[in-house]
């Protein structure tokens, strides 16, 4: 009998607690659903298409902070300042421009190729709109522009023929790419298209551009980026536009075995491991 009384008492207490909690919760006002800020931040271009899970940025600091927080590493920045052009001058030269590879003729205007960003190749593309394949013009495909010409504040490289587009090709996988947008004659905007390492189209953004190179565009992709194409949408109809990018920065997911950070796992990484063999301090 005593056990039944105790069980009934416990049940009565439990019911009372549930009723009290329910009453207390019902008295609280409903909280509005929180608005989630996009990963690109409030400055991310609002017209970004939902293609391939791309995240677009027009704020350089937010782009860099996002990549750093995601655990990516900055591979390098190419600013073309290694060119030997005179002030207020231009020079046509052949495709492609590669990291550390002298370009012809005579190594001018980049006697040592590009030096700031390894695994980058810059070249023209005869296609506009959606050039799904690499299609460089070849001779005189690129135009080097020095600081001071047409308002440029630094040395630049653009597609050398109006109607062509410009390809930034990465010979190793990148997770994020950002640069200052450049356009001469045409504009005032360019289309930035992103392709995977197998030339699959991931998405695009139309973004402001000028000859000074003060507008920034950045893109992060869950799929490795193999190529960025920059195109003046007016060039096809009006024959306008020399487009390009400056201060190109690339981010990548670090390889845990790439100790020297050169993008490859090789003998130097093994040597680093052997030198540091033993108990960790």
The sign of the dihedral angle between the CA atoms of 181, 185, 189, 193 is negative
Return the H-helix or E-strand segment holding 242: strand 242-252
Higher pLDDT, 236 or 111: 111
Higher pLDDT, 257 or 162: 162
Residue 231 and residue 159: Cα distance in Å, rounded? 9
pLDDT-based confidence at residue 239 (cuts at 50, 70, 90): low
Q: How much is the pLDDT for 10? A: 42
Mean pLDDT computed over 88-103 = 92
Question: Taking CA 253 as the corner, what is the angle to CA 97 and CA 123, rounded to the nearest 5 degrees?
Answer: 15
The predicted-structure confidence for 24-80, as pLDDT tens digits, reads as follows 433 333 333 222 233 333 333 334 444 679 999 999 999 999 999 999 999 999 999
**Which residue, chain included where needed, has tokens 């600081």?**
147
**Per-residue pLDDT for 6 more than 50?**
no
Q: How much is the pLDDT for 45? A: 38
**Per-residue pLDDT for 1 more than 80?**
no
Higher pLDDT, 251 or 211: 251
pLDDT-based confidence at residue 236 (cuts at 50, 70, 90): low
The predicted-structure confidence for 125-172, as pLDDT tens digits, reads as follows 998 888 989 999 999 999 999 998 888 889 999 999 988 999 999 999
pTM (global) more than 0.85: no
The predicted-structure confidence for 166-214, as pLDDT tens digits, reads as follows 999 999 999 999 999 999 887 799 999 999 999 999 999 999 999 889 9
Residue 64 and residue 66: Cα distance in Å, rounded? 5
Contact 215, 203 (CB under 8 A): no
**Which residue, chain included where needed, has tokens 């012809």?**
104
């Amino acid at each position: 009998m005593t056990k039944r009384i105790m069980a009934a008492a416990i049940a009565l207490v439990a019911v009372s607690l549930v009723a009290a909690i329910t009453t207390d919760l019902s008295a609280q006002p409903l909280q509005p659903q929180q608005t989630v800020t996009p990963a690109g931040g409030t400055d991310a271009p609002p017209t970004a298409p939902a293609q391939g899970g791309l995240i677009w940025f027009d704020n350089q600091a937010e782009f860099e902070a996002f990549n750093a927080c995601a655990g990516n590493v900055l591979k390098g920045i190419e600013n073309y300042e290694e060119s030997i052009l005179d002030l207020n001058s231009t020079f046509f030269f052949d495709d492609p421009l590669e990291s550390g590879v002298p370009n012809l003729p005579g190594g001018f205007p980049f006697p040592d190729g590009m030096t700031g960003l390894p695994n980058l190749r810059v070249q023209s593309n005869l296609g506009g709109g959606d050039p799904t394949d690499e299609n460089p013009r070849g001779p005189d495909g690129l135009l080097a522009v020095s600081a001071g010409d047409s308002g440029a504040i630094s040395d630049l490289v653009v597609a050398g023929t109006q109607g062509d587009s410009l390809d930034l090709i990465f010979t190793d996988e990148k997770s994020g790419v950002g640069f200052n947008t450049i356009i001469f004659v045409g504009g005032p905007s360019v289309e930035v298209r992103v392709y995977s390492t197998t030339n699959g189209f991931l998405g695009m953004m139309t973004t402001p551009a000028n000859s000074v190179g003060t507008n920034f565009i950045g893109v992060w992709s869950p799929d490795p980026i193999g190529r960025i194409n920059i195109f003046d949408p007016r060039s096809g109809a009006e024959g306008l536009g020399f487009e390009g990018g400056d201060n190109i920065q690339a981010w990548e997911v670090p390889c845990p075995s790439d100790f020297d950070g050169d993008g490859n796992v090789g003998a130097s990484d093994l040597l680093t491991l052997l030198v540091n063999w033993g108990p960790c301090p």
